[in-house]
A and B are shown apart, each in its own frame.
Chain A
Amino acid sequence: MTYTDSAIIQVSGLHKYFGKLHVLKGIDETVMQGEKVAVIGPSGSGKSTFLRCLNLLEIPTDGTIFIDGLEITRPQAKVDAIRRKMGMVFQHFNLFPHLSVMKNITLSPYLTRDRRESTAQLSRKHFKEEINERALALLDKVGLTDKADSYPAQLSGGQKQRVAIARALAMEPKIMLFDEPTSALDPEMVREVLQVMRDLAGEGMTMVLVTHEMDFARDVANRVLFMDEGHIVERGAPEQIFTNPIQERTRSFLSKVL
């Protein structure tokens, strides 16, 4: 597989088995720099597994994945370094409950400071300041400056998810992966999280998003992938997928959710 300049994620022939269960049955997909791709489909279709394969939270059984020109599916691939290029936001937030909001955001930048360009050259005092300042800026961005010293248990679901986004952004990722980021939220909190994601999309971040928020997908995504039973059944621009799907399966799925 050749590496093209503007493609940031290249997946080919991706298969994933859980024991005998064949979850991904040959996925080929290329995501361009700055693209926002929404992955939709019924539950059990493999969309979360696909997303988790992208940063090796699931190890693909077969196939290759290139991230930013590096093949991450090679056995010798430096997994931790690759993951630092990708932020991931989970359905259940997965904030660290024993750490304050500020610590949640700064822990990983702090621990990986020597291996990251932006802080490797700084002295001890300076990188601390730098990391803290950036964390505060991120909290400001998600509108939670006043929660810096709170613990996750003291936050609402929407606030937790916004902190989780800030935490992922603190690693200065090139790609953000969202795994159903609003599915565990009360309805009134969905909007605040989507707004943060919308802002992020506006800044040109490459985003891959597994979602059930069809309106948001239509609104923000450049491209929509419809997955079913381990295949990408249909892909295309949101207007086309949502208003004029070609495949029967897409049509029947959309008729149930729209």
Chain B
Amino acid sequence: MSEFFNNLWQNFLETDSGFEFYRAFIRDDRYQLFFSGMWVTIRLSAMALLFGTLIGLFITFLSLCKSNKHTVLPIKILIKTGNIFAGIYLDIIRGTPLIVQVMLWYFVIIGPLPINLQPLLVAGIAFGVNSGAYLSEIFRAGILSVDKGQAEAGRSLGMTRFTTMWRIVLPQAIKNVLPTIANEYIVLIKETAIAFVIGVPDIIRAAQVVNSRIFNPMMPFLGATVMYYIIIKFLSIIFKILEKRLRRVDTR
């Protein structure tokens, strides 16, 4: 059996595309370059998702804070400042290209600082801050989609504003916008492909390096395509399962 596959493999390598495949992935153990690139992309994506989600939640919180007539003045000012900050943040992030933001973070904001941050970490921050803006709007839409009566019921039972948000409103909000969140996460993972502009050794970087050695972009970029596809497929399967679980309570 193994001999059969071995023959098949050898025959494949003797064809033209087999040879290209060999040059792109096998010779000099180049597959290692791709796998380490994939691992970097996964780590970068995970960082960006985490930062983005936390920042998104925080910005949602800032933009939804409201004062009433019993709010004391310092708190009122704080709330207003938060509202304005959230607005400006959204405006800037959504109004400028991501690639510019990434370069700004690396060369202008963090570069001159007397600290030595890896490009990977800088990219994680840049993508997280970017995605946070989009995610915060998704979260806000989700929270607004939950019936006001839910929060009222929570508050009428003596739960605090925060507990009501955390235990009652947010779980329903997330459920309502889960497909949109999945969408944003997927876009975010694919957008990490531009991290190469600041030298992050991700999948794209690996493909470029190999391409510059063999002068044939077909196999390296096909390889990159498959790798992105696998990562995103994995994520969407997780989201499918999650959605199914959350929808279980709707069955009559």
A binds B: yes
A64, chain B: closest CB distance, angstroms: 14
Q: Which residue of A lies closest to B148 (CB)?
A: A94
The stretch of B103-111, B160-168, B178-186, B206-214 in contact with A is B160-168
Residues of the B chain whose Cβ atoms lie less than 8 Å from the Cβ of A96: 150, 153-154, 168, 172
Contact B158 A80 (CB under 8 A): yes
Contact B69 A59 (CB under 8 A): yes
Contact between A171 and B157 (Cβ–Cβ < 8 Å)? yes
Q: Which of A80, A84, A90, A98 has the most CB of B within 10 A?
A: A98
Q: Which 10 A-B pairs have the closest CB atoms?
A: A84-B158, A94-B153, A108-B157, A94-B149, A88-B156, A75-B70, A151-B249, A83-B158, A98-B171, A80-B158
Question: Is B70 touching A108 in the complex (CB atoms < 8 A)?
Answer: no
Nearest-neighbour CB distance to chain B for A114, whole angstroms, equals 12
Q: Tell me which residues across on chain A come within 8 A of B69, comparing CB atoms.
A: 59, 61
User: Is B175 part of the contact surface with A, judged by Cβ < 8 Å?
Assistant: yes
* Residue pair B152, A94 in contact (C-beta under 8 Å): yes
Considering the chains assembled together, what is the distance between the CA atoms of A80 and B164 in angstroms? 11
Does any Cβ of A come within 8 Å of B159's Cβ? Answer: yes
**B91 close to chain A: CB less than 8 A:** no
Closest chain A CB from B5 CB (angstroms): 50
Residues of the A chain whose Cβ atoms lie less than 8 Å from the Cβ of B251 = 151, 153-154
A237 at the interface (CB under 8 A from B): no
Partner of A59, one of B70, B147, B152: B70
User: Contact mask A86-102 → B, CB, 8 Å, 1/0?
Assistant: 11101010111110000
Quote the shortest CB–CB distance from A133 to chain B (angstroms): 19
B68 close to chain A: CB less than 8 A = yes
Q: Given A97-B249, A111-B167, is A90 in contact with B149 using a C-beta cutoff of 8 Å? A: yes
| Chain A nearest CB, measured from B107 CB (Å) | 46
Additional A-B contact list (17), CB under 8 Å, known A90-B149, A96-B172:
A57-B156, A59-B68, A81-B158, A87-B157, A90-B152, A96-B154, A96-B168, A97-B250, A107-B167, A108-B157, A108-B158, A111-B159, A111-B163, A154-B251, A164-B153, A168-B157, A171-B157
Contacts of B152 in A (CB 8 A): 57, 88, 90, 94
- Residues from chain A with a CB closer than 8 A to the CB of B154 are 96, 108
- Contact of B158 (CB < 8 Å), options: A112, A151, A153: A112
A59 and B152 CA atoms in complex are apart in Å by 13
Considering only residues 82-120 of chain B, those with a C-beta below 8 Å from chain A are none
Task: State the Cβ distance, B39 to closest chain A Cβ, in Å.
Answer: 36
Q: Is B30 an interface residue (CB 8 A)?
A: no
Task: Tell me, yes or no, whether B244 is within 8 Å of chain A by CB.
Answer: no
* Residue B80 CB within 8 A of the other chain: no
Bound: A168/B153 CA distance, A: 9
Given contacts A97-B172, A98-B171, A98-B175, contact A83 B249 (CB under 8 A): no
Report how far A167 CA is from B157 CA in the complex, Å: 8
Q: For B68, what are the chain A residues with a Cβ–Cβ distance below 8 Å?
A: 59
A70 to B163, CA, bound (A): 24
CB A172 to nearest CB in B, in angstroms, measures 11
A80 to B159, CA, bound (A): 6
- When distances are taken between beta carbons in the complex, the residues of chain A under 8 Å from B157 are 83-84, 87, 107-108, 167-168, 171
